[in-house]
Amino acid sequence: SEAVVQSAGQDQLIVQLPGVSDPEQAERVLGGTAQLEFRKQIATLVIEL
């Protein structure tokens, strides 16, 4: 599965790597060449009755 990237404040990101529990492996994955894609977020309206 794919990594999940979330904004954390103005200058930080939270990256979740499914299936990766070893910090050194996470560093290797994040240290490699990657493709970062920015998408516009669509507002969601939730109505509770």
Residue 44 phi/psi, 5° resolution? Answer: -120, 135
Q: How many CB atoms lie within 10 A of CB 33?
A: 4
pLDDT at 34: 67
Query: Which residue, among 27, 3, 29, has the nearest Cα to 17 in the 3D structure?
Result: 3
How far from the centroid of its chain's Cα atoms is residue 24's Cα?
18
- Rounded CA separation 21/39 (Å): 27
Position of tokens 């309206």? 45
pLDDT at 35: 76
Whether the predicted pLDDT of 10 surpasses 70:
yes
pLDDT at 46: 80
pLDDT at 44: 81
The string of pLDDT tens digits covering residues 12-38 is 989 999 999 999 999 888 888 767 788
User: Does pTM top 0.95 for this prediction?
Assistant: no
